[in-house]
Amino acid sequence: MHRGYRRAQYLRVARALREVNPSTEFTTDIMVGFPGETEDDHTETLSLIDEVGFLQGHVFRWSPRPGTPAAAIAGRVDDAAARHRSAEVRRATKRSGARSLAGACGRVHEVAWDAVAGRTAHGLTAGYHEVVVEGVSGVRQGGLDLVRADAVEGDHLRATLLRS
């Protein structure tokens, strides 16, 4: 796809960012089935997901768009293989995200609240982890508060609001 970087460069940048801030999280978009993609390429993608540890990933299969340079590239990936690869990549990003959430448990996070309904607040940490806190008062949408992440529930953290 004519990317201007390679795996080693990408990993160097990810490591450098995490050295500066160990809480740094990454999300990604991953296309599977691009013409010419081999089984080895797919295996490398799965390996990269594990090595980087993405919080989230948007996975989609390549499809030709008339008039684009990619539409004319030989070596299209069979649809069944592309579907299989897509499912594998989705599972890998889900496992990676679950590890990230588990690593956030027990830690204190600053949260920006994006929704408050009654006594339930939903927000995002600086590392883009979704947080839900119940039984709160005085929390306002757009506000910032500290929370302690207590548990993983599905794709978010259940937390306790910390107030002095």
Give the predicted TM-score (pTM) of the model.
0.85
Question: Which residues contact residue 104 at a Cβ distance below 8 angstroms, ignoring those fewer than 6 apart?
Answer: 125, 127, 129, 149, 157
**Domains recognised in the chain with CATH numbers:** 7-104 (3.30.750.200), 108-162 (2.40.50)
Tokens of 97: 């995200």
- pLDDT tops 70 at residue 130: yes
Token pair, residue 148, equals 């302690």
pLDDT in tens, 98-119: 999 999 999 999 999 999 999 9
Residue 2 has pLDDT above 70, yes or no: no
